[in-house]
Amino acid sequence: MGMINVFQPTLGEAELAAVREVFASGWLGRGPRTKVFEADFAEHLGVGAEQVVSVSCCTEGLFLSMELLGVGPGDEVVLPSISFVGAANAIAARGARPVFCDVDPATLNPTADHVAEKLGPRTKAVVVLHYGGYPGDLVAIAELCRERGVPLVEDSACAVASQVDGRACGTLGDVGVWSFDAMKILVTGDGGMLCFRDPELAERARKLASLGMAQSSGFANATADAEARWWEFEVTAFGRRSISNDVAASIGSVQLRRLPEFVRRRREIAERYDQGLSTVDGLRCPPPLPAGHTSSYYFYWVRMDASVRDAMARRLYDRGVYTTFRYAPLHLVSAYGHEGSLPGAERAAEETLCLPLHQALSDSDVETVIGEVRAGLAALTAPSGSSVPTVSSFPASRP
C-alpha cells in the first residue's frame, strides 16, 4: 500500500503543453511568459502589475525584502517563533536580530498583542505568516504596524488564495512574498513572487534581483539606436540573481487558473476532517474562520495531548499516513536560541500534527486518515497500568 502524502502537487497535461510551448519558443529564461505570469498574479491579488516581481523562490524574496527595507546591524525584526526558518535567516543575514513573539496555540498565528509586546525602539520591520493559510489577526497587526511606522512583511507562502474582507493576504502589509515550491498549492517546481505596496520599492527589487543592473533590453536598444553599444550596462546596486524563468512562469499561469478548483477541493477535505474529528474527545481541530476570512487550506492540523502526539505520528506513519509539524519554534533552534519561553509556541509544537491535505486526496484516503487518527487516539489513550496519558485538557472541539 502506498503512503498517503501530507502535501502533493497536482500537475498534468495542461502544464506539460505550456512547457512544450516554451521549449518550442527557444526562450527559457525570463521573458514574455514571466511578464504574463506576473500580470496574471497581480490580477489574482487585485494589485497593479507594476507592484509584483517574480523571484526564484520565496526565501530569496524574504532576503530581498529585508535588504529593501534597509534592515541592518543593530536592528531588530519581530516575527513569530512558529515561522519558516528562511524568514529568520533573512533577518540574521543582514546582521539584524530576529525577535520572536509567541503565537496562539489554537491558530498558531500571533495576535496583535503578541507582536506589540516585542516592538521596541530598534524594531525595523515585522514579518508574519498566515499559518496553514488562515489569515489570523492580520488586520489588527497591519494597523499596529502602521501606527508604529514599522513596515509589515507578509510571508504569504501558505496563503496563495487567502483573503480578509475581499483583500488578498500579502497585500495588507507593505510587502507580500509567495512560494511556488514543490510542496505548495500553486507549484512551479521552484519559484516565488513579491508584491509591494510601493511601486518604487518594486522597481528597486527588480534591479536587485537582476545583479543590480538597470533593466535594458539589448535587442530593443540595438533597434532604437543605430549607435547603441547594447552590451554595456550600468550597475546601480550590488544585487544577486534572484530572477525566475519562463519555464516556471508558463507552469505558474496554468496552475493559477486551476487554483480555485484546488482550494475548493481542499476546503471540502478540511470540512470532512472537521466532521470526522471535531467530536472526538482528546482532539482539537482548527478554530472556525472569523467572518470575512477565507483560507487556502494549506495545512489541516489537529491538537492532542502532548503525551500522545509523537506516538500518534509514528503510528500513523507505520500505517501509511504521513503527517508532520510545521514550523518548529525558532526560539528553540540553537542558532536563534533565546532565553525566556514562549508558552503558546512551545505548547503548539508539542501538541500539533499536520494531517495530509492536498487536492489529489481521494475520499477514501480522507476516510482512512480519519479512521486511523480516531483508532490511534483510542489505542494510545486506552488505560494501561500506571502510564495513562490524560486527555482532560482536550474536550472535543464540537461536543
Ligand X SMILES: *Cc1c(COP(=O)(O)O)cnc(C)c1O
Binding site for ligand X (CB under 6 A): 57-59, 84, 86, 129, 155, 157-158, 179, 181, 192
**Closer to ligand X by Cβ: residue 86 or 286:** 86
Catalytic residues: 184
133 in Cβ contact with 85 (< 8 Å): no
To the nearest 5 percent, what fractions of the chain are helix, strand and coil? 40, 15, 45
Rounded to a whole number of angstroms, the minimum distance from the CB of residue 229 to ligand X is 37
Rounded to a whole number of angstroms, the minimum distance from the CB of residue 204 to ligand X is 21
Rounded to a whole number of angstroms, the minimum distance from the CB of residue 311 to ligand X is 26
Tally Cβ neighbours within 10 Å of residue 190: 18
Spatial separation of the C-alpha atoms in residues 114 and 117, rounded to whole Å: 5
Spatial separation of the C-alpha atoms in residues 18 and 137, rounded to whole Å: 38
**In one letter, which amino acid is 129?**
L
**Closer to ligand X by Cβ: residue 4 or 127:** 127
**Closer to ligand X by Cβ: residue 158 or 373:** 158
Tally Cβ neighbours within 10 Å of residue 95: 11
Rounded to a whole number of angstroms, the minimum distance from the CB of residue 281 to ligand X is 31
**Closer to ligand X by Cβ: residue 179 or 210:** 179
22: phi then psi, degrees, rounded to nearest 5:
-65, -45
Closest CA to 45 of 140, 149, 154: 154
Spatial separation of the C-alpha atoms in residues 45 and 56, rounded to whole Å: 19
| Cell numbers placing 148 | 508604529
**Closer to ligand X by Cβ: residue 4 or 58:** 58
Residue 259 burial class via C-beta count within 10 angstroms: exposed 0-12, middle 13-18, buried 19 and up = middle
Rounded to a whole number of angstroms, the minimum distance from the CB of residue 174 to ligand X is 17
